[in-house]
Amino acid sequence: MSEQQFSLFAISPLDGRYRRKVESLSRYFSEFALIRSRCSVECAYLLALDGTGVFAPLASPERERIAALASGFSEADALGVKEIERTTNHDVKALEYFLQERLKLKTPSMIHFGLTSEDTNSPAWSLLLRGYRDEVQLPQLRRLVAALAERAETWADVPFPAHTHGQPASPTTAGKELAVYLDRIVPLLRKIAALNFPAKFGGATGTWASFMTAAPGIDWVDFSRGFVTGLGLEFSELSTQVESGDAWAEYFNLTRELNGILLDLDQDFWLYLMLGLYREPPKEGEVGSSTMPHKINPIRFENAEGNATVANALLSMLSEKLVRSRMQRDLSGSTVQRNMGVALGHSFLAVEETMAGLSRVELNAARCAAVLAEHGELLSEPAQTILRAAGIPDAYERLKALSRGRPFSKADLPALADSLELPPEARARLLALDVASYTGAAGRVCLDAVGRAKTWMEENP
């Protein structure tokens, strides 16, 4: 079956319609990736076990074969494991038998010595998650931060209509509104980057009983700690047959929180485009509707919203399920783990589509200015605040009577000033009010947020 045919008949859109966009993720979340990672763990364990003296030392050719397989595990090797699994109906045991055949050790009983399947699976999955985070997720999110920072800095001082409760509200700037998202995302990225992925390595029920029975003279807990930390993972000393899953859940929840921020951004841009505050230039050859030729739809933001929603449903399920396992262990968690890549794949797509949407929109500064000019009633807030500072006791009520549900504009300010005994400075400030310039410290705090984002990007090149 050709790639195009596979795309037509794939059940999952990640393997079908979106295959080209997410194919790099197969390095971390495919069946091949999992088998390769397990093999890497088993091979590293053989080399570590060789130093304990439990078995006769490995010969140099044996060590070389182990190292070569760990670094050069191939598709043919994975198919060999799968062929054995057809008989065993057990994936990790199939790998053990494959290693016996492939490595031809003089002491094949070394392979998988003392281990339960989860002693292989736990570090294998954590290595894959860590690799995805470090090599794909964080670099992708760094690009998102860079895109937001560039636009926020460019539009830091451009007046922009604000809406609270869907109604016109005190103006902001286009850059400041983007900087809000920027300042929400960067702290999350710090947490994601700092998270340590765990692994257990304590035998069938986390007691090291099999190890200690066979070789009681070795501190197997200390050995396991050294082995797991040597892989760059955090050692889970206390476990059942499975690692608790708490750190994985934390990672999924942080990613889900990030997707929630993206959903907020995507939905806001959808609305901004609807209001004409942003616009998307036409792209040659693209169609927005099968019947309405004029349409330019915000499809990128809509795709991002849909994928983030799917991702968050799955990430929520994963974070809830993987921290629970009946008594010492049940197998329901194993099949659920295989969906981690599906959840993170949709999350990856959501970020890609958000960036694609941002790259295609232009700020409609003229429309923003026109909308602000239509709403002179926005001056009621600064006007009543100036009056309060001047000691006018019923300032709020005066402006409410003048502006709530009634036409009000800058032209009404002189009459208001004349009706009051105001100090000259207060009168001057009142008469100088203008909707377009009523943006306060928006530009400043926007650039402060951009600075924080740039600092993070410098720390994470």
Q: Which of 2, 71, 109, 165 is catalytic?
A: 165
Annotation marks residue 289 as catalytic: yes
DSSP letter (8 states) at residue 74: -
Phi first, then psi, for residue 383 (nearest 5°) are: -65, -50
Q: Which of 24, 289, 332, 437 is catalytic?
A: 289
Q: What angle do CA 349, 129, 262 make, to 5 degrees?
A: 30
Are 294 and 280 within 8 A, CB to CB? no
Q: Which two tokens stand for residue 242?
A: 């499975």
Q: Which two tokens stand for residue 69?
A: 């397989």
The number of angstroms, rounded, from the C-alpha of 248 to the middle of its chain's C-alpha atoms is 13
Residue 340 to residues 14, 182, 259, 362: CA-CA distances in angstroms?
A: 13, 26, 15, 36
Q: What is the DSSP string of 1-56?
A: --HHHHHHH-SSTTTTTTHHHHGGGHHHHSHHHHHHHHHHHHHHHHHHHTTTTSSP
Annotation marks residue 112 as catalytic: no
**CA dihedral (307, 309, 314, 318) positive or negative:** positive
Q: What angle do CA 453, 458, 461 make, to 5 degrees?
A: 115
Q: Which two tokens stand for residue 343?
A: 């959840």
Distance between CA atoms of residues 258 and 132, nearest Å: 16
Q: Which two tokens stand for residue 198?
A: 């765990």
Q: Which long-range contacts (CB under 8 A, 24 or more apart) does 23-28 make?
A: 24/136, 25/132, 25/136, 25/341, 25/344, 25/345, 25/348, 27/131, 28/128, 28/129, 28/131, 28/132, 28/136, 28/341
Distance between CA atoms of residues 286 and 298, nearest Å: 12
Q: Which residues are catalytic?
A: 165, 289
